[in-house]
Chains A and B, each alone.
Chain A
Amino acid sequence: MGSLDFARGREVGRSLGRLEAAAKVDGTVEYIHNLRLPGMLHGRIHRSSIPHGRIVRIDTSAALAVAGVHAVVTADDVARLVPDPYYGPAFHDQPILATGKVRHVGEPVAVVLADNPHAAEEAADLVAVEYEPLEAVFDEVAAAAPDAPVLHDELRPAGMFTDLKHLAGRRDTNVALDARLRSGDVEQAFAEAEHVFEHTFRTGKVMHAAFEPMVTVAEPHAAGGLTIHTASQSPSFVRSEISRLLGWPENRVRVRTAFLGGGFGAKLYIKLEAMAAVCALLARRPVRIALSMDEQFYTITKHGATVRIKTGVARDGRMTARQVETFWNGGAYADIGPRVTQKSGFSAAGPYDIEHVALDNYAVYTNEPPAGALRGFGISQLVWAYERQADVIARTLGIDPLEFRRRNALRNGRPHATGTVVVGMEVDAVLDRLAEAMAWDKPFDRGTGTIRRGRGIGIGVKACVSPTTSTAAVHIYGDGSCAVHCSTVDMGQGSDTTMAQIAAEVLGIPTTDVRVVHPDTDVTPYDMATLGSRSTFHMGNAVRRAAEDARAQIERMAPGATSFRDAMLARFAMQAGTVVGFGSYAPSYQKPDPETGLSANITPFWMLGGAGAEVEVDTETGRITVTKLVNVADVGRAINPASVERQLTGAAIMQLGFTLFEEMVFSDGQVLNASLADYKIPGFLDVPRELTGTFVEAPHPEGPFGAKGVGETGIFSPSPAIANALYDATGVMLYDMPLTPERVLRAIREAGGRPLEQA
């Protein structure tokens, strides 16, 4: 090692403020939302008004007559450029514009291009579409039945994920994917179990409501290329998918992003990009398509799910067998739903050591808007079921809920239901921290009269999605300054600062001296996507390796230099040149056996989250007030502790909304509350008086500086914790989320033998 000051331990583990803080408080921070290009047209989507039907004819004449309208684009126009206009990360099932048929209310049928947004909006309403309605199906269980109306003639797996290939060519079914796991012999174990518990839980559909609504600006180039400026979490995927659709090499498509005003999984894969690209190429002008908040409700949602869960328990309170059957309401297009089904489905046994496990997961097409990833990727639906049931078991057996979880905890060195031996997952530490934060061993006042109090806990686990790749470059410029090039998207989680801290730690410089270059596929190297809490671990490792590479090059080329600046001068004989360090990371992985779902290496790391809640329940109104909410995560090591805590409190509040009141209400496939006026999200007054986000650290052997991801961990467990607290307060058992006052009151009245009349 040279004499450069490469001391370690200065940057990682500090609660540094965001690199972009100044721009965020003075309003100048860059979002794609702000982008206007000269000569740009505004696209506005005309959407299907029915849930399922054939398109008989589209009349665009009235729309074209509006002053300022340049063109109205329909599937026929798309077909001229893209003969096979179907896209999607898991299945090629979603047309750029409805082709022959519509499959959900709100599906894009035509795009009006106009020189101002008002003309585009007015004209979009004037597009007249004649439909021949088809029978529709909305419920995920009904849609999986053999006699249900079928949405797609044939399944078309995308090929990107080799484990979906076997589905190609399947016909006459809405089940896009069935994923199973078999470990041990559940039937025999149920027969031998002292107790068997069986329940069905449901969660409704909710929506991300990222505050920067989806927006894409596509810019064609005279020389034949295309730049797509897009608020996307997956620029690398957008490049490859748009290239595939157009039949172009990837090097003709440039995709760039800026800061995102929230993502939460909504801005993954292809959303507006293909549509904007085609419109821009047809019009030969830049085209901006920007959704309103309302339109987002018809674009992507979280999966509603029906979870049937059966658990066998021995006399000593140990769970011996678990069978879970989950139907995921995927909506009309698969998006990433089959992966949600598969990658989350196998975790349905929870963070528990259960010998006999049988899991069946069905990704089901329905005539509702598509469902995809939403912070947690299917995990919270499963945790809702298994952690609600855990409290029922504990209470029935007279075991304290915390003790019940301790007794069944899956510990390091033991095999998970998939067969993968668990490493770096700290169940005991999380439960201890939860017990402490909840003062679990202290007496608790449960109230009297009409206000009852209760407390509850829950824990949930997710296996980080695998296998995926991240690559990064660290540049040292002629003056010795440094920039990290990576395609991780900072959508609010603070990844720029995290990556800068990791690079700074390796390079021995202050974090504030590191610039992070935003994703631009012409400039920043490949990354799978910013999703699933994978960035800190995967991109963190890539950035760390890139920084190590840059540092090693400098040490080799200028031994004895005392700064990067001097090193560059020494090597290039003037203040000039560039040193590029490169790093990539892809964890090892073993594909699950298609029959049993077993794998010796299913994930690079496990994410464990626990939550505790105290509630007050008004037994006359059914209203739940969460007075205390604690989120505990096992993070390996926190690169930026304050940022981690903020992710945990933020996730707690977001999930509180999903638990208590957020729900998309449907009628014949129409969303009745598609606006923030009717779909309420948590505000200041919903924040619990006591709210804690806290974490336990046990460095993960493969994480960068021991770190694991945390963006989703706080989402897993607040829902069952709150429902378990309701159960503790009132003895009332609810199976469906959200816990609206009406549902709670009905359940309380029913339990008290005075049921309310049905509305």
Chain B
Amino acid sequence: MTHQRTLSFTLNGRPVTATARTHETILEVLQRDFGLFGARESCGQGLCGCCTLLVNGTAVSGCLYLAAFADGAELVTVEGLARGGTQHPIQCAFVEKSGFQCGFCTPGMILMTKELLGRHPRPTDEQIRHYLSGNLCRCATYPDIIESVRRAAELV
């Protein structure tokens, strides 16, 4: 019996295929087969948001997301936000406002911001705090992240 599965999905706009064992998470596939490390594991329990990626436009925790579920889906990681060498406006905002220190949580914060701005283009501070509250930052760069999200709302 084989525990391998071939998957086809769209990754950052390009159709791709990959083989994954049934117990493997999407993170392992992204890292091993595509060399993408922007979604990264920290808590491994769906609690910190470092492993965030977008699946069909919705933010999910890659550490808990089995690779098999990605079959047929559209995946976006932080590496897929820039267009033709130009940073996405949310990335520009995080650079401008220095919304990071060690940077380990940053891709997750950026992708959550993307989802937030998709639903609330002009978020209040309360909305920002609540929407991002599932993403943690041990460097506690929270004030600068909030500033970055505010700025992103202006730029997007």
Contact = CB atoms under 8 A, between A and B. Distances in A.
Contacts of B24: 118
Contacts of A676: 43, 45, 47-48, 136
B40 interface: yes
Contact of B129 (A212, A646, A685): A685
Contacts of B91: 25-26
B95 A22 contact: yes
Interface string A651-677: 111100000000000000000000111
Interface string B29-56: 0011000111110111101101000000
Interface in B90-145: 91, 94-96, 98, 100-107, 110, 128-130, 132-133, 135-145
A722 to B, nearest CB: 15
B77 interface: yes
Contacts of A492: 101-104, 139
A443 interface: no
A212 B42 contact: yes
A684 B40 CA distance: 20
Contacts of A212: 40, 42, 102, 104
Contacts of A511: none
A650 B87 CA distance: 26
A21 B104 contact: no
Contact of B107 (A27, A118, A654, A677): A27
A211 B143 contact: no
A491 B102 contact: yes
B38 A27 contact: yes
B154 interface: no
B112 to A, nearest CB: 11
Nearest to A15: B98
Contact of A211 (B32, B79, B104, B129): B104
A262 B104 contact: yes
B5 interface: no
Contacts of B130: 684-685
Contacts of A643: 98
Contacts of B75: none
Interface in A19-60: 20-29, 31, 33-34, 36
A649 B143 contact: yes
A675 B47 CA distance: 10
A683 B133 contact: yes
Contact of A27 (B36, B96, B128, B137): B36
A677 B45 contact: yes
Contacts of A435: none
A210 B110 contact: no
B101 A654 contact: no
A713 to B, nearest CB: 15
Contact of B102 (A21, A211, A649, A687): A211
Nearest to B40: A33
Contacts of A209: 138
A260 B102 contact: yes
A685 B98 contact: no
Contact of A26 (B23, B82, B101, B128): B82
Interface of B: 21, 23-24, 31-32, 36-40, 42-45, 47-48, 50, 77-79, 81-82, 87, 91, 94-96, 98, 100-107, 110, 128-130, 132-133, 135-146
18 contacts: A18-B98, A21-B98, A25-B106, A26-B78, A26-B79, A118-B23, A118-B24, A211-B137, A212-B102, A212-B104, A264-B138, A492-B102, A646-B141, A650-B141, A682-B136, A684-B142, A684-B146, A687-B129
Given A17-B96, A28-B79, A676-B136, 14 more contacts: A17-B98, A21-B95, A25-B91, A25-B94, A27-B36, A27-B37, A29-B103, A292-B44, A293-B43, A492-B102, A494-B101, A649-B142, A677-B47, A687-B129
Interface of A: 17-18, 20-29, 31, 33-34, 36, 118, 208-213, 259-262, 264, 292-294, 491-494, 642-643, 646, 649-654, 675-677, 681-685, 687, 691
